[in-house]
Chains A and B, each alone.
Chain A
Amino acid sequence: MMFRHIEEDQNFQRVLTVAKGEETDRIPYDVCFTSDFISSFYGIREREYYIFPEKMVAAQQAVIKRFFTKYHLSTIFSLLRPDPSVVAEISALAPLRWPPDGSPFAQPIAKTPEDVDDLQLPDFERDGLFPYIYEIVDWMIDNYGDDYFIGPCQPRGAPQLATMVRGTNEFLVDLRMQPDVAHKVLDYCTKVIIGFLKGLKARLGKNFFIVVADDAGGFLNTKQYEEFGLPYNARIFEWFDHPLNLYHCDADTTQILEFIPKLGCHIFNMGDKKTCDLAKAKEILHDKVAIYGNVPPYDVLQLKGPPEIEAAVKEVVDQAGKGGGLILSTGGVISRGTPPENLDTLFNAFEKYGSTIPSD
C-alpha cells in the first residue's frame, strides 16, 4: 500500500521539509478535505459519517482513491484519520444536537460568570464522546494501522472552544468587560483540549500531530489576540510539538499574523484573500512558519472554472512562493458541492505553478 510508506512519497516529504523550514526542489501541495465534503462525496449524510466509523473510513478512502491516488499524492489531509467533529471537547460538557446531515452542535454551558467558576474538568476516559473517539482510534490502528499513517487529530483552539463553552457574544464581550472571566474560560478550555489530546497521543504515539481549528481566534483584534489567544494556543502546541502541527483560522487573520510564529505551530492555514493579506503573511512568516494556502475554496474553487482556478493558484505562487516556505492549498476547507473536475484543475494548476521555487 502506498500509504504505508509515506516516507517514500515525494509530496509528503516536501510538505514535511517546508514545515521544518528547509528548502525543497518544488512547491508541495495539499487541500483541506473535511467531513462536509467527504460525506457528501461518498453519498452519505454527515451524521452517518460521524456515527459509523466504518462509513467514515470508507468515505475517506473514497476521497483518497479519487483524488490523491490519482495524483500519486500523500498529504496531511489524505491520511486516514479519526474525525470526531467540532464537538469532540464540548461533548463532555454539554448536550449535543445532531442535524441529520450536518455537524453536531452544543448550546453554551457557562451563561454567567458564576457558571464559569463552577466548570469542572471532565473525565477524559469516560465523559462525552471522548471514550467513543478513543475507541475509534484504537479500532483504526488495529484495522488500518499497518497500511495507513493515522492522523492528524483536530482539536479546537482555546478561543474557539471558549466561544462554545461561554457563547460567542458573551465571550467576546467578556474580553473587554470581564477579562478575568475570559481568562478563566480560556484556561479551562486549554486544559480540556490538552487532556483530550493526551488520550489521543497515548494511542497514536510518534505519529501524533494536530490541526488546531480556531476560527474564533480571528474574531479578536490584535491586542486581544496577544492577551487571550496566543498564550493559550501556545500551551496546546507546546504540549504536542510535531513538525506537521498546523494552525487553522479562516476568519480575519491579517491583524494576528505577528503572533503566528510565536504559537509553536509549523504550518499556518489562513482563509482566502478577503480575510488574510498573503503578501503580509509572507513577509512576517517567511522562514518561521510555512504558509498553507490560500486559493479561495468557495468563491473560486466551487463557483468558478479552470481560468479562475489557475489564476488564483498563480496569484498565490506570485505572492508567497518566493524562496520557499509555501504549501499550496486552499484558504480554508473545501465545501460539499465543489465539482470534482474543479479539484482536478486545482491539482493540475498546483503541479504547473509549483514546479519550481520562484527565487527571492
Chain B
Amino acid sequence: LPTDEELLQRLYEYVANLEDIDPDSMQVTMKSLVEDALQAGIPPIRVLEDALAKALDKIGARYEAKEYFISDLIFGAHLMGAAMEILEPQLTGAQAESKGVVVLGTVRGDLHDIGKDIVGAMLKGAGFQVFDIGIDQPTEAFVDKTKETQADIVAISALLTSTTPEIPKVIEALRAAGLRDIVKILVGGRPVTEEFAQEVGADAYGENGPDAVTQALKVIGSEVK
C-alpha cells in the first residue's frame, strides 16, 4: 500500500504537471486521487496544504520562470476548483476555515477583469475565501462588501493609468468608514508599482497572480498599517 507521502505526492504531481492532464479523464482522476488520500486517513486539511496548495505554488513558480503562461495559471486554478469540490465537504470546523476573507474588485471606470480574475482564482486556490465584486466598482461597493463579509484583505485592481487614482479613493473610503485599521490592502494592475502602493498607503503590491498570493499570505500574518 502506498504511504501517505506517496499519495500526497501523486496528487501533487498530477495537478502540478498541467501538460500531462488528459481532459477526458480529469474529473475521474482527480476524484480518485483525492479520495484515495482521504480513504487512507490523511486529514483533508493536509491534502489541501501538502498536495494541492503546493501544486499551485509550483504552477506559480513555473509561471514566474516563463515555463507556464496565463492560460496555464487559469487552468491550474480550474483544477484546484475541481479538487476543492471533492475536498470541501470533508473540511470541518477549524479545518474549514479559510486563510482569510478577501474582497476583490476593479475600480470605478475600469472594465478590465483578467488580472483580477487570475488573482481571485489563485487566492481561492491558496485557501482564501474570495468575494469578487466585479469590475467598474465604486468606492462604496468595496466598503459595503468589506463590512458585510468582515474581510481581512481588500484587493484593489486597476489596469489603466486613468483609473489608478481611484485606488487611493477606495483606501480613503475604507478609512472614513473606520475599516482601514482592521483590513489589509493589496493593490495591483499594470500601472501599479511598489512605489505607488507605498504612496497610497496600501499594505502590499502584487505584481501578478502568484505574487498576489504571496503578498496576501504575508500581510495576513502581519500588523495592519
Contact = CB atoms under 8 A, between A and B. Distances in A.
**Of listed B21, B69, B117, B161, residue having the most chain A CB within 10 A:** B69
Contacts of A175: 71, 75
B111 A105 contact: yes
Nearest to A178: B23
B68 interface: yes
A294 interface: no
Interface stretch (A112-120, A247-255, A262-270): A247-255
A335 B71 contact: no
A172 B75 contact: yes
Contacts of B161: 36, 298, 302, 335-337
B169 interface: no
B71 A102 contact: no
A64 B23 CA distance: 51
Given A168-B113, A168-B114, A178-B23, A221 B72 contact: yes
A40 interface: yes
Contact of A252 (B23, B66, B136): B66
B55 interface: no
**Of listed A172, A178, A302, residue having the most chain B CB within 10 A:** A172
Contacts of A40: 162
Nearest to A252: B69
A352 interface: no
A169 B162 contact: no
A99 B109 contact: yes
A172 B191 contact: no
B68 A176 contact: no
Given A220-B71, A221-B68, A177 B109 contact: no
A101 B109 contact: yes
B21 A176 contact: yes
B105 to A, nearest CB: 15
Contact of A224 (B66, B71, B162): B71
Contact of B78 (A100, A163, A173, A218): A173
Contacts, number: 90
Contact of B162 (A105, A178, A252, A336): A336
A173 B75 contact: yes
Interface string A157-169: 0000001000011
B70 A251 contact: yes
Interface residues of A, number: 37
Nearest to B110: A102
B29 interface: no
A97 interface: yes
A103 interface: yes
Contacts of A337: 161-162
Interface string B85-128: 00000000000000000000000111101100100010000000
Nearest to A103: B111
Interface string B46-80: 00000000000000000000101111101100100
A121 B68 CA distance: 34
A219 interface: yes
Interface string B178-218: 00000000000011010000000000000000000000000
B69 A219 contact: yes
Nearest to B71: A172
Interface string A98-110: 0111111100000
B141 interface: no
**Of listed A219, A224, A251, residue having the most chain B CB within 10 A:** A219
Interface in A137-187: 163, 168-169, 172-173, 175-179
Contacts of A103: 111
Contacts of A224: 71
A255 B69 contact: yes
Contacts of B19: 223
A217 B75 CA distance: 16
A177 B26 contact: yes
B78 A252 contact: no
Contact of B111 (A36, A99, A168, A173): A99
B69 to A, nearest CB: 5
Contact of B109 (A102, A163, A172, A336): A102
A220 B68 CA distance: 9
Given A97-B111, A168-B113, A177-B78, 4 more contacts: A97-B136, A176-B21, A223-B19, A337-B161
